[in-house]
Amino acid sequence: MKKKLIIIIYSLLTTCAYADGDMPNFSHLYEHPNSHYFFTCGAGKLNIFGGGGCGPGLDPQYVFLIKELKKVTGQKKITVEIYNNLKSLDKRRLQVLNLLENKIDNISNNIGKEENKFDLNCKNYKKYFNRTSNECTEYKNSENSKLKKLTNLSHTLATFTRAYKLSRDHIRNIEKAGSNFTKYMNLLKDDLVKINKKLKKSIDQKITEEKKIADAKKAEEKRIAEEKRIAEEKRIAEEKRIAEEKRIAEEKRIAEEKRIAEEKRIAEEKRIVEEKMQQELAFLIPETELEKAQNFLGDVEVFVKNNPEEFDVLEIIEFIIATKPILEGILDDEQIKNIELFKEYTETSSNFIMYQNAKNEERLSLSLQEVRYEIDKLEGFISDLKKYLQNNMNSDLAPSILENTNILIDAMNKKNLEELLNVNRDINNFIIKNDIKGGFAKQKKKTEEKRIVEDKRIEEEKKIKKENEEKHFYTRVVCKVVKETKLFSEGEQFATSMLGIKTDEMKEAEKKYHKEYCACVENKTKDYFSLERIKEANKQNKLGEKTVTGTPKAMTMNELAFFMGAQAKCTTTLKIKFDLWLKGISN
């Protein structure tokens, strides 16, 4: 409808514009020369011959003017009053047309705006409701009838505005036709406003409803997400709780196992110590009653000197005098009785009892130390002899060593300290005489030297491995490539040799270049990359990891650009060549 309405309005406005221009134009009727003709030739009157009173020169123009005035005004007789009103009527007519033009233009603009809103509302209605609005359909179906009526009103208005008439009645007809036209346009506009309001209200309600639904959906999704989050947190918390319980149970189990193992270890160590002590005790010769009595008397003497207030000195002296024969090696019935009485007397002191127990343990410990020392010596001899045999199986001493080893084992089994002392003495002389330990020491030294060499090799391998881990994989690639590249071409080798430079010097220069080039690239790499990135790149290169686009993760474009620049900066081939050539020229 919009395009058709624009055409109608445009046509009508053009008509009004013509009224303001050339058609119809009434100003010539009341302006010179017609105003001169009118008032000179009769002021609207005609003589009996149908002419004026101006003579043959002006009469025709006057007669034509009177006829045109009658046609324009619709009056049978043109008076001076009627003629004089022409100008004011024409002015009024133009005012009416201009006002009508502005009003029509304003209303048409408003209709255009409302129709734009209407089109947008109909489009949005279909978008939100997925169907065409009844109002939109009805309005579009009624467009032709509305346009037809608008066209009729337009034609009526155009007829009045184009008519070659100028009178109050005709101006009123123009005003009436214009009013009918503008009223209908306003009616169309008001209908569009009402429809737009109704459509906008429905659309806004739909948007509000959809927003409400969307908000409700979002809230529901948020609620579900929150429930899932809470459920997940509970699940994680439960897993943590179970894991913690398992960890605690495992720690308790491990602690219990450790406790049991420790108890077993302690018990086993205690058993071993006990067995060893029993073994060692077996070597000891039991004290005689005389030795026990003599030790007792010695303990009393030392204790009394250190603790003079513990006993009555006079009584102690009497006991010492009575038991003096024991110290001289006599232990008869009388002395046994005396020593028993002395013991009974000293037992009245708890301090002395503790002291004597400590002294007994000390004497036992000293005796056991001696036994232990001899047993350790015996076991050391057995170990040395076996090692010698292992390293010298074809030695002439093998039979003697085997025999002496068996002697040592027998002495151990016999549990006799005196025999153990004698055997250890004899075997020690045998070992010294045949330099058993010397040969063993040589073999041990040789083995130690091998171990040192092997340790150095392992340490060197670890050092190289660590350096490789901290060295970017691409620097190794670069160094390998440059080491396979010759510094001098065949032509340069020939020219260099002609300068008196030997082949060895050229090779040395090439080695120097390779070494300096690799060191330069490695140093720049260490300055550019962090140690973490180097390790990460080495790992990614080893595993062949790639990005989603298929490019290797081990080398980004920026990193590749860095290596290209580093290689260019570290290339010093010309300098090394020139230095060598200058040396040849100087010589």
Give the pLDDT band (50/70/90) at residue 475: confident
Look at residues 376, 384, 418 and name the one whose alpha carbon lies nearest to residue 404: 384
Distance (Å, rounded) from C-alpha 344 to C-alpha 418?
A: 35
AA letter at 97: L
Measured from the Cβ of residue 38, the count of other Cβ atoms closer than 10 Å reads: 24
pTM confidence score: 0.41
Distance (Å, rounded) from C-alpha 53 to C-alpha 43?
A: 10
Alpha carbon 88 to its chain's center: 89
Instruction: Give pLDDT tens digits for 25-71.
Output: 899 888 988 888 788 886 656 654 455 556 665 678 888 888 899 99
Which of 45-49, 190-194, 554-558 is the least confident region?
A: 45-49
Q: Could you tell me if 12 and 158 are in contact, meaning their C-beta atoms sit under 8 angstroms apart?
A: yes
Distance (Å, rounded) from C-alpha 274 to C-alpha 541?
A: 62
The DSSP result for 306-371, as a single string, is H-TTSS-HHHHHHHHHHTHHHHTT---HHHHHHHHHHHHHHTT-HHHHHHHHHHHHHHHHHHHHHH
**Residue whose entry in the numeric block shows the structure tokens 């034509």:** 64
- Cα distances from 21 to residues 15, 24, 86, 173, in angstroms, run 10, 8, 17, 20
Give the pLDDT band (50/70/90) at residue 484: confident
pLDDT at 9: 52
pLDDT at 551: 64
pLDDT at 435: 80
Distance (Å, rounded) from C-alpha 407 to C-alpha 397?
A: 15
pLDDT at 438: 65
Distance (Å, rounded) from C-alpha 147 to C-alpha 3?
A: 11
Helix axes 350-391, 168-283, angle to 10 degrees: 100
Every domain of the chain and the residues it spans: 2-203, 286-348, 365-452, 470-586
Percent above pLDDT 70 for the chain:
85
Q: Could you tell me if 285 and 367 are in contact, meaning their C-beta atoms sit under 8 angstroms apart?
A: no
Collapse the DSSP code of 31 into the 3-class scheme (helix H, G, I; strand E, B; otherwise coil) and give the result. Answer: coil
AA letter at 78: I
**Torsion on CA atoms 74, 79, 83, 89, rounded to nearest 10:** -50
Give the pLDDT band (50/70/90) at residue 72: very high
Instruction: Give pLDDT tens digits for 523-546.
Output: 888 888 888 888 888 888 877 776
Give the pLDDT band (50/70/90) at residue 249: very high
* Maximum distance among all Cα pairs of the chain, rounded to whole angstroms: 213
Structure token digits, residue 180: 């009918």
AA letter at 451: R
Structure token digits, residue 331: 């232990």
pLDDT at 421: 85
Q: Which residues does 372 contact at the CB level (< 8 Å), separation at least 6?
A: 280
